[in-house]
Amino acid sequence: MKKKEAQNTDTRSGAQCVVDGLEHAGCEVVFGYPGGTVLDIFNVLCLSPVHFILSRHEQGAVHMADGYARATGKPGVCLVTSGPGATNTVTGLATAHMDGIPMVCISGQVALSAIGNDAFQEADIIGITRAVTKHNTLVRSADEIPAAIAEAFYIATSGKPGPVLIDIPKDVQRQLTAARPPASVSLRSYNPSAVIAPEALAALAEAINRSERPVLYVGGGAISANASGPLTALARKANIPVTTTLMGLGAFPEDDPLALRMLGMHGSAVANLAVSACDLLISLGARFDDRVTGKIAEFAPRAKIAHIDIDPSAIGKSVRVDFPIRGDAREAAEGLLPLVRPAAHAAWLAELDAIKQRYPLKYNHSDTVLQPMFVLEEIDRLRKGQGIIVTDVGQHQMWATQFIRHVQPRSFISSGGLGTMGFGLPAAIGAQLARPGELVVAICGDGGIQMNAQELVVAVEHNIPVKTIILNNGHLGMVRQWQQMFYGKRYSAVVLGSSNRPVNERIRHDTAPVYRPDFVKLAEAHGMRAARVTWPAEVASTLERAFADPHPWVIECIVDPDANVFPMVPPGAAVSAMIVD
């Protein structure tokens, strides 16, 4: 019956249905890498208006899709082959999963009849990615493809967003079907939205109105819900100081006097002390991560806690919650706005201002030794509040939270939950593709850039004008900092230059110490413009030249290898026990 119907109408291949499904979902860019089990999809993809970006490693493709999604709120899409192609996406999927980033990943699979036979390039990617995706599914018939793709986009973008993987066997891509994308998607087992109970909001508003020392604690959920506007209005109406998590940076403008900036392990002193002293902590789209709370028993010890989150399983996971509210961050902020009375909170704000004065962010500026913080300050000065800052993971990431003022949402892109080194460059490429007219600066360490440096060529061949700043301190700096502070200065496996390597690495000392690779030559080998900065006085002019140029750049800054990130809450300690310098 089905077959006859199919012959009578317009039939097309499963592979064509994949491409049609992507177009139907509004996908404009696909990142990926071909291979044996996705040949049929690539065979029709090249005829589609969808822009295809060929990464040089599947991990790069997933991080590009991730950066694209973070910069826009639209789902990032990637397409990879079976086996190693699919397994190479795992780190990227886990990165997106931890941070709640919408993504659709399509992987090829060996033919249905070969599954389970240890066929060439076979991997049980459904089993492997189960814990790092919001949802995944193996498609068993071409008839299922249009609905599977529509559902994947719906699941990826609704509720708490996340990555969805669709695994499509090669023979299924070659089957013919008359199936078409559904007009709308709803799943009886999946209810991503929640109506916020008015009485819960009223109770919280009453608590805010009674509070003398309130703090808003804002996370990535506020950015994915586009809640910046109402939350900023709410904070200003009742003079509530605001601290953000790493994922929440930019949700509230840091040039506002109410901004306490980031909290947590490398947060500002005032943010951590405010949380420790507040009487009401209003969490909006944040999840009380261990890097935020430190010793959980001493987190916000004097406060009633309100937790607003779209994910019901996040509420009450780490801390006891007095006002649990399941719902969208934007709807919650909009709902609270008329219920909250204007308040001055003058004594509380004065107290916090005094702490800000006492513990300013600082570093020892030098005219001869380039400090990484100075480079970041110069980047921030020259970008004039515009553009997107993307980071890799490590010390430079924390300095980028501290020495750059984050004033707009979706303008700070960083791997928060998973802490994925190698994220920065490909994510910046994805972000720049999404927002072509804007300045996109990728800030990387010399360790992280080497984890996905192969993607430099992608920026060059598409002329994606990302400015990649490598803060080269010759070390895996954050690990070195922990070894210095907590492991008796025994430096193990953290030196990247040729000298002072630990004995067990059995590396011959060069007569003249060298650093390999030469990042300027590496960039030039990819056809990219590049410069090396060693003196503080060269920073501004080099950045200005690169920022004004419509091509991608690498700027390597040789920075002080001994610089550390402060303040720091020692691991496992209460946030109030932070080390200021």
Q: Is 486 in the site for another protein (CB under 8 A)?
A: no
Which one of 184-192, 204-212, 449-457, 489-497 is the stretch in contact with another protein (CB under 8 A)?
A: 184-192
Q: Is 127 in the site for another protein (CB under 8 A)?
A: yes
DSSP 8-state code for residue 164: E
Q: Is 130 in the site for another protein (CB under 8 A)?
A: yes
Q: Is 43 in the site for another protein (CB under 8 A)?
A: no
**52: part of which helix (H) or strand (E)?**
strand 51-54
CB 447 within 8 A of CB 421: yes
Smallest distance from another protein to CB 290, Å: 15
Question: What are the φ and ψ backbone dihedral angles of 440, each rounded to 5 degrees?
Answer: -120, 120
70, 213, 215, 535, 563 from 282: Cα distances, Å: 24, 11, 6, 44, 34
Smallest distance from another protein to CB 311, Å: 7
Q: Is 296 in the site for another protein (CB under 8 A)?
A: no
187 vs 354 by CB, closer to another protein: 187
Scan residues 302-321 and list those touching another protein (CB under 8 A). Answer: 311-313, 316-317
Residue 529: count other Cβ atoms within 10 Å of its Cβ.
Answer: 18
259 vs 321 by CB, closer to another protein: 321
Q: Is 188 in the site for another protein (CB under 8 A)?
A: yes
- DSSP calls for 542-564: HHHHHHHSSS-EEEEEE--TT--
Smallest distance from another protein to CB 123, Å: 15
191 vs 541 by CB, closer to another protein: 191
- DSSP calls for 65-133: HHHHHHHHSSPEEEEE-STHHHHTTHHHHHHHHHHT--EEEEEEE--GGGTTTT-TT---HHHHHGGGS
The one among 135, 174, 405, 462 contacting another protein by CB under 8 A: 135
Smallest distance from another protein to CB 129, Å: 11
158 vs 272 by CB, closer to another protein: 158
Count of chain residues binding another protein (CB under 8 A) = 19
Smallest distance from another protein to CB 159, Å: 8
Residue 297: count other Cβ atoms within 10 Å of its Cβ.
Answer: 9
Residues classed as catalytic: 58, 120-121, 170, 478
Smallest distance from another protein to CB 46, Å: 32
Smallest distance from another protein to CB 63, Å: 24
Query: Among 406, 519, 448, which residue's Cα sits nearest to residue 91?
Result: 448
Query: Among 64, 185, 81, 129, which residue's Cα sits nearest to residue 440?
Result: 64
Which one of 30-38, 127-135, 388-396, 506-514 is the stretch in contact with another protein (CB under 8 A)?
A: 127-135
Question: Which structure tokens are listed for 276?
Answer: 């420790």
Smallest distance from another protein to CB 164, Å: 9
Which one of 188-196, 256-264, 374-382, 536-544 is the stretch in contact with another protein (CB under 8 A)?
A: 188-196
Q: Is 189 in the site for another protein (CB under 8 A)?
A: yes
Residues with Cβ within 8 Å of residue 460, at least 6 apart in sequence: 526, 527, 528, 552
218, 243, 257, 259, 367 from 253: Cα distances, Å: 12, 10, 9, 7, 31
- Dihedral through CA 368, CA 372, CA 378, CA 384, nearest 10? 180
Which one of 46-54, 60-68, 132-140, 252-260 is the stretch in contact with another protein (CB under 8 A)?
A: 132-140
36 vs 192 by CB, closer to another protein: 192
Smallest distance from another protein to CB 130, Å: 5
39 vs 114 by CB, closer to another protein: 114
At position 393, the amino acid (one-letter code) is V
Residue 358: count other Cβ atoms within 10 Å of its Cβ.
Answer: 11
Q: Is 138 in the site for another protein (CB under 8 A)?
A: yes
CB 277 within 8 A of CB 214: no
Question: What are the φ and ψ backbone dihedral angles of 242, each rounded to 5 degrees?
Answer: -125, 130
CB 440 within 8 A of CB 469: no
209, 284, 345, 452, 532 from 238: Cα distances, Å: 8, 16, 8, 46, 48
37 vs 136 by CB, closer to another protein: 136
Which one of 134-142, 361-369, 397-405, 449-457 is the stretch in contact with another protein (CB under 8 A)?
A: 134-142
DSSP 8-state code for residue 49: S
126 vs 142 by CB, closer to another protein: 126
Binding mask 190-229 for another protein (x = CB under 8 A): x---------------------------------------
Q: Is 137 in the site for another protein (CB under 8 A)?
A: yes
Binding site for another protein (CB under 8 A): 126-127, 130-131, 134-138, 155, 187-190, 311-313, 316-317
